[in-house]
Amino acid sequence: MTTYNLALIGFGGVNRALAELIRDEPQRFASLGFGLRIVAITDLALGSLVQAEGIDLGAALSMPRGTSFAGLPGGSPDPRNEEVIRNSPADIVVEATFTSPVDGEPAVSHVKWALESGKHVVSTNKGPVALRGTELSKLAADNGVRFEYEGAVMSGTPVIRLAHKMLGGLKLTAVQGILNGTSNYVLGRMEAGLGLDEAIIEAQDLGYAEADPTADIAGSDVRLKVAILANELLGASIHPSEVSTTGIQDITSADVSKALAAGLRWKLIGEARRNADGSIVASVQPVALAADHPLAGISGATNAVSFTTDLLGAVTVSGPGAGRVETAYALISDIMAVNEFVKGAVRA
């Protein structure tokens, strides 16, 4: 059985959840036909740790806040990202740092260093895919490795790979999604009678919304995801700034009640659509959906994507769109894709 060496870049909630699964459930991976060994971790706060024989995850996971890896063998107080990514004995680099919606850095550099060094990359990071996806995928192909990023759209719920692998042979004309759990939760609570601000505070209390909920409420989080879907599934070359974006900040309780009375439900819809002339338009905006629309019944913080196809009409997938374990599963599904690629290359 092949064992892949991993370097975790960023040691926040998602990569910690992945490390916990690898520590606690080796049989889950064995059943998939491979083993996983973490040989490097870097983190802005903790520094870096490289242990080629496999990191003691118990120790790494229980580092107290405010300490650093410096005290451990192979540890340093400095993240040393480029050095670790380029030179650690990793087969797969797991990129899960924060997303800059402006230039995708530092994640874009992390991905490039890894691909240039002949290492596969799996990532949950929207920024590099939305802003530099085409270029990075080409760099991966040029280096004979994979760049996989299923978690960038809907965390562990399959979207990109589902469209590619399960809807083959269909003509896809549009993709519509509810791609932000916070805004969907807020709209649902407004239907239950809360005001916008009250609903946002409730979402913050529940941990759905950030202290600054602007990216969720104003649609800029969804904008990145729509750019990914347009480029990946409809073959567009759209920059996120070209996605016309309106958030839910101006939706009032009166709007919501009026819609409900007419059998309609306001949802924040991200959409990419191919016009008859082949051009592709992408948008994020609140839409009052009829009750029989496939996305009208998506409630709470759930996310969903509906694919409009020629032979099947609408096919819709819904599930979690966030969460540390849920997003760690996206990384696992990406590693499974890398494993299929490696096995295929060995056979060929």
Q: Which of the residues are catalytic?
A: 225
186 binds its own copies (CB under 8 A): no
Q: Render 84-131 in DSSP notation, one character per residue.
A: HHHHSS-SEEEE--PPPTTT-TTHHHHHHHHHHTT-EEEE--HHHHHH
Query: Residue 13: which of 120, 111, 121, 97 has the closest Cα?
Result: 97
Residue 171, marked binder:
no
328 binds its own copies (CB under 8 A): yes
300 binds its own copies (CB under 8 A): yes
Shortest Cβ 165–its own copies spacing (Å): 6
- CB-nearer residue toward its own copies: 69 or 149: 149
- Its sign, for the CA torsion 114, 120, 122, 127, is positive
292 binds its own copies (CB under 8 A): yes
Amino acid at 70: A
Amino acid at 326: E
Of the residues 228, 298, 338, 342, which one makes contact with its own copies according to CB under 8 A: 298
Partners of 235 in the β-ladder: none
Shortest Cβ 280–its own copies spacing (Å): 19
318 binds its own copies (CB under 8 A): yes
- CB-nearer residue toward its own copies: 28 or 138: 28
Shortest Cβ 339–its own copies spacing (Å): 10
29 binds its own copies (CB under 8 A): yes
Residues 151-170 within binding reach of its own copies (CB under 8 A): 156-158, 161-162, 165-170
118 binds its own copies (CB under 8 A): no
Instruction: Please provide residue 286's backbone torsions phi and psi, each rounded to the nearest 5 degrees.
Output: -70, 135
Q: Whole-angstrom distance between the N-terminal and C-terminal Cα of the chain?
A: 18
C-alpha–C-alpha distance, residues 119 and 82, integer Å: 13
Question: Do residues 83 and 50 lie in contact, with contact meaning Cβ atoms separated by under 8 Å?
Answer: no
Residue 5 DSSP code: E
- CB-nearer residue toward its own copies: 271 or 326: 326
In this structure, the number of other CB atoms found within 10 A of the CB of residue 37 comes to 19
Question: Do residues 199 and 185 lie in contact, with contact meaning Cβ atoms separated by under 8 Å?
Answer: yes
Residues in contact with its own copies, counted by CB under 8 A, come to a total of 44
| Residue list for the binding site for NADPH | 126
Q: List residues near its own copies by CB under 8 A.
A: 28-29, 31-32, 156-158, 161-162, 165-170, 291-292, 294, 296-300, 302, 311-320, 325-326, 328-329, 332-333, 336, 344, 347-348
